[in-house]
Amino acid sequence: MERLRTGFDKFKTEVYDQKPDLFEPLKDNQEPTYLLFACADSRVCPSVTLGLEPGEAFTVRNIGAMVPCYCKNKHTGVGSAIEYAVCALKVKVIVVIGHSRCGGIKALLSLKDGEDDSFHFVEDWVRIGYSAKKKVKDECCDLPFEDQCAILEKEAVNVSLQNLSTYPFVKEGVANRTLKLVGGHYDFVSGKFDTWEL
């Protein structure tokens, strides 16, 4: 806990106290431009890697930066974040960011049909990207496992972008050109960040 306390003290004196023009308006409301989906991996904090200030991005982090299809009875934590960001906060861009050496993607690619799950939640969650896994297995079966993982990192982002379009308020925003969907990939091994649109 001492690390967290000293970290906050440093933030308070070096950032919070030094930027009243940034933090004062945030006391009343937030108007983020972005909804970011990023992995929960401790190596890939999007605010740090993208240089975002507080108030710029409404952020959802989970295993593999997965976005499930619209369903009112399942994955409501993700659905409620999307709905609030789009309908209440009026974000303009949704970005789904995959990353290099992702454990969630490795777990997805390692899944064997018919085998028992090792975890209570992880395998069921990463199955959201099953169609991406199938595509990589079908098209890249001759490549080494690590290379397949690297390809799947981006293909899983594409599945999440497609899944975003199943949310009626996202679909409407895209159709009205008030909302844009963007894929991203952060390679922390080589220090690269790529973006694309489907």
Q: Chain-centre distance of CA 33, in angstroms?
A: 15
Dihedral sign for Cα atoms in the order 114, 102, 59, 134: negative
Annotated binding residue 69 = no
Annotated binding residue 28 = no
Contact present, 49 and 100 (Cβ < 8 Å):
no
Annotated binding residue 41 = yes
> For residue 104, what is the enclosing H or E element?
helix 103-110
How far apart CA 170 and CA 6 sit, in angstroms, is 40
CA atoms in the 13 A half-sphere facing the CB of 138: 7
Q: Which two tokens stand for residue 62?
A: 């989970």
Annotated binding residue 116 = no
Query: Could you tell me which residues are annotated as the binding site for Zn(2+)?
Result: 39, 41, 99, 102
Q: Which residues are annotated as a binding site?
A: 39, 41, 99, 102
